[in-house]
A and B are shown apart, each in its own frame.
With several copies, the nearest count.
Chain A
Amino acid sequence: MRKITFSEATLEAMTEEMQRDDRVFVMGEDIARQGGIFGQFKGLPQKFGTGRVLDTPISETAIAGAGVGAALAGLRPVVDMHFADFITVCMDEVVNQMAKIRYMFGGQCTIPLVLRAPDGIIRSAAAQHSQSLESWFLHVPGLKVVIPSNPADAKGLLKAAIRSDDPVLYFEHKALFPMKGPVPGGDHVVPIGKASISRAGQDVTIVSYSAMAHRALEAADKLAGQGIEAEVIDLRTISPLDKETIFTSLAKTHRLVIAHEAVKTGGVGAEIAALVAEEALDLLDAPVARLGAPYVPVPFSPSLEKLVKITADDIAGAALAICK
């Protein structure tokens, strides 16, 4: 299969969906002239005109809020947050408007909107440009949250998100943009809400997503060297969570490691561990191992930044500890 980058994969998704449906448009900061900080919008204005690819003012409440308004009026906006950290600027628009409007209005409208948010740690971008905030949105009924780890899923999930009649937050890890991988041709759509098993195994289940999904696979390789076959689950969507896939794996392995880059406390891993403690406790033969960033903002200095990143060794170590 042809290999393209994550960034190119999202660009294909945008292009195909904009071609398919003229209600789709995109707005954000520096996406037309620059083509996005990560090149993820490159060439779109040339293809679709600056009437459908809009450089906005630095006004995140207007970007998100006008996205909602345009959706109410029948368009299908894709809005870009530049960095996921800046969702904080328009949390009211996301949480109180985008997520709730359809419900509050008794289903009179739909909000077919995608909010794209590049997140994660990348080369000492420091505390205000390195966050992974996806877990907040688990807690907000009315949203869907997807978070692909590779080019194929990036394309397929973005296409699904654009076609969804519900608002979708699309988190894309900054470090993944240049990553190459096989992407099927044709109309490749990945359904929202379905995790994938990126490696099968029977000794321990490792649940992860986004860039950490690669660390999970590397950890599985290391574990295999020690005779432990890990089953690696890439969530792909975190809201709704694909509980069934996790539980099914757990029924086989009886051991669970969860790893994400976001701060451990209050992260997505907490919800997963809690679901297991509630609904699948009997499946566990060992404590759940939960990995996430320690409880500090992301520090600038490379010597400190590396301490907050979960590594394949960390994951393998945690898995080993519960496989004893």
Chain B
Amino acid sequence: MNYDAEFLRYLYRRMVSIRLFEEKVGELFLAGELPGFVHLYIGEEAIAVGVCASLTDRDYITSTHRGHGHCLAKGAQILPMMAEIYGKKAGYCKGKGGSMHIADFTVGMLGANGVVGGGYNLAVGAALAAKMRQTGQVAVCFFGDGASNRGTFHEGINMAAAWKLPVIFVNENNQWASTTPCHTTTAIENIADRAAGYGIPGVIVDGNDAFAVYETARQAVERARQGGGPTLIEAKTYRIKGHFVGDPEMYRTKAEVQKHFDENDPLKNFAKKVTAAKWLKQADLDAIQAAVAAEVAQAVEEARRAPYPEDGELFDDLYAEGGLK
């Protein structure tokens, strides 16, 4: 494969954005600066970025409780995301959603979801709309290994398969659902094997390799755009951080986690590969890193200073047509 440098910089920038954004969010949360709960995507950046690189702004994604990475990968901006996590009016959702409910409809990001498995059918519906209107759009649903046991997995994929909808189901198998290891709740090795039950392709990919994810997604997207119907992609990865920031993680050892991170950090993977192949220089990567770090720092400053929603906004945005209080 041959990638042009701009594309590589774009991939790296998005991955680094997620990494630095989340490191900062984790820090701020532990410092008691952020309300709510935050679930970090660190270590899984290659999946969101690899998949979204195969999409356009007109394509849709649905996301999860662990949604920051999906947002940024799809093109959401750092400042309104940070502001949202702070609960500020300048946030994407005017402070009404918070970390678990960020959406950016301008880039086709149809929202994070606090309900595990809540996104399947939303993606299926968006794909149905695309098919009905023949727009050529596709929809991608990100979901976890834990989420793969929700009934909505079955109902959504079955209907999408029966109707050959342009939707791609991307399983982020990070091997943990909160404190519960995947293998204790699922008797099979690969979530992708479930695809056969719906007559659609099931593909396994290294979720720590942005290139592999991108190529896999590209094929699935092409298939979907051409009317070939859904694909189930299982991206194997590992949840590097606790389930939420502050998780005591009594259920696994630090060593296990560190080993995974040392061996599979998708950013390090990427940097190694592109510098070894001489596609990009370390200096390019450093420059991106520095630019993103500055942007994140700036976003924190602005989000911190930004005003909270005012009392009078409480009822805004409930009904499009008003009418109730």
Binding site for B on A (CB under 8 A): 25, 29-30, 33-34, 51-52, 54-62, 64-75, 77, 85-86, 89, 92-93, 96-97, 101-110, 112, 123-129, 141-142, 144, 164-166, 192-193, 239-240, 294-297, 299-305, 307-308
Chain A min CB distance to B111 (Å)? 6
Name which residue of chain B comes closest to A73, CB basis. Answer: B129
| CA distance in complex: A223, B118 (Å) | 45
Q: Which of A25, A51, A58, A304 contacts B96 (CB 8 A)?
A: A304
Is B150 interfacial (CB-CB < 8 Å)? yes
Chain A min CB distance to B185 (Å)? 4
Is B321 interfacial (CB-CB < 8 Å)? yes
Name which residue of chain A comes closest to B102, CB basis. Answer: A105
List chain B residues, Cβ under 8 A from A57: 146, 149, 155, 158-159, 162, 177, 185-186
Is B124 interfacial (CB-CB < 8 Å)? yes
Stretch at the interface among B12-20, B295-303, B304-312: B304-312
Name which residue of chain B comes closest to A112, CB basis. Answer: B320
For chain B, residues 266 to 325, give those with C-beta under 8 angstroms from any C-beta of chain A. 308-311, 313-321, 323-325
Is B147 interfacial (CB-CB < 8 Å)? yes
User: Please, could you name 25 A-B residue pairs with CB atoms under 8 Å apart, sorted by A?
Assistant: A33-B179, A34-B178, A34-B179, A52-B132, A61-B152, A65-B156, A66-B121, A66-B125, A69-B139, A73-B130, A89-B150, A93-B118, A102-B319, A105-B103, A106-B94, A107-B94, A107-B320, A112-B320, A128-B100, A240-B324, A295-B315, A300-B87, A300-B97, A303-B308, A304-B311
List chain A residues, Cβ under 8 A from B311: 303-304, 307
The 7 closest A-B pairs by CB, nearest first: A69-B125, A65-B121, A300-B98, A107-B317, A301-B87, A301-B95, A66-B125
List chain B residues, Cβ under 8 A from A294: 314-315, 325
Say whether B93 contacts A108, CB under 8 Å.
Answer: yes
Chain A min CB distance to B284 (Å)? 35
Is B251 interfacial (CB-CB < 8 Å)? yes
- How many of chain B's residues have a CB under 8 angstroms from any CB in A? 82
Say whether B125 contacts A59, CB under 8 Å.
Answer: no
Contact A128 B115, CB 8 Å, known A123-B36, A165-B320, A300-B101: yes
Is B116 interfacial (CB-CB < 8 Å)? yes
Is B26 interfacial (CB-CB < 8 Å)? no
Is B56 interfacial (CB-CB < 8 Å)? no
Say whether B129 contacts A74, CB under 8 Å.
Answer: yes
Is B184 interfacial (CB-CB < 8 Å)? yes
| CA distance in complex: A167, B318 (Å) | 11
List chain B residues, Cβ under 8 A from A25: 132
List chain B residues, Cβ under 8 A from A77: 125
Say whether A164 contacts B321, CB under 8 Å.
Answer: yes
For chain B, residues 132 to 156, give those with C-beta under 8 angstroms from any C-beta of chain A. 132-133, 137, 139, 146-147, 149-152, 154-156
Say whether B93 contacts A62, CB under 8 Å.
Answer: no
The total of interchain contacts (Cβ-Cβ below 8 angstroms) comes to: 282
Name which residue of chain B comes closest to A101, CB basis. Answer: B111
List chain B residues, Cβ under 8 A from A109: 103, 105, 110
List chain B residues, Cβ under 8 A from A60: 150, 155
List chain B residues, Cβ under 8 A from A69: 62, 110, 121-129, 139
**Binding site secondary structure of chain A:** loop
Is B230 interfacial (CB-CB < 8 Å)? no
Is B201 interfacial (CB-CB < 8 Å)? no
| CA distance in complex: A188, B318 (Å) | 27
Name which residue of chain B comes closest to A65, CB basis. Answer: B121
List chain A residues, Cβ under 8 A from B37: 125, 129
Say whether B152 contacts A65, CB under 8 Å.
Answer: yes
Say whether A240 contacts B126, CB under 8 Å.
Answer: no
Contact A307 B314, CB 8 Å, known A67-B125, A69-B110, A295-B324: yes
Contact A108 B105, CB 8 Å, known A65-B122, A124-B87: yes
Is B114 interfacial (CB-CB < 8 Å)? yes
| CA distance in complex: A33, B129 (Å) | 22
List chain B residues, Cβ under 8 A from A55: 179-180, 184-185
Chain B min CB distance to A82 (Å)? 9
Say whether B101 contacts A127, CB under 8 Å.
Answer: yes
Is B88 interfacial (CB-CB < 8 Å)? yes
Is B91 interfacial (CB-CB < 8 Å)? yes
Q: Which of A30, A75, A108 contacts B129 (CB 8 A)?
A: A75
Name which residue of chain B comes closest to A97, CB basis. Answer: B118
| CA distance in complex: A65, B157 (Å) | 12
Is B60 interfacial (CB-CB < 8 Å)? yes
| CA distance in complex: A71, B23 (Å) | 35
Chain B min CB distance to A94 (Å)? 12
| CA distance in complex: A62, B157 (Å) | 9
Is B75 interfacial (CB-CB < 8 Å)? no
Name which residue of chain B comes closest to A129, CB basis. Answer: B114
Say whether A92 contacts B115, CB under 8 Å.
Answer: yes
List chain A residues, Cβ under 8 A from B43: none
Say whether B251 contacts A33, CB under 8 Å.
Answer: yes
For chain B, residues 28 to 87, give those with C-beta under 8 angstroms from any C-beta of chain A. 35-37, 60, 62, 87
Contact A166 B319, CB 8 Å, known A108-B92, A125-B36, A296-B314: yes
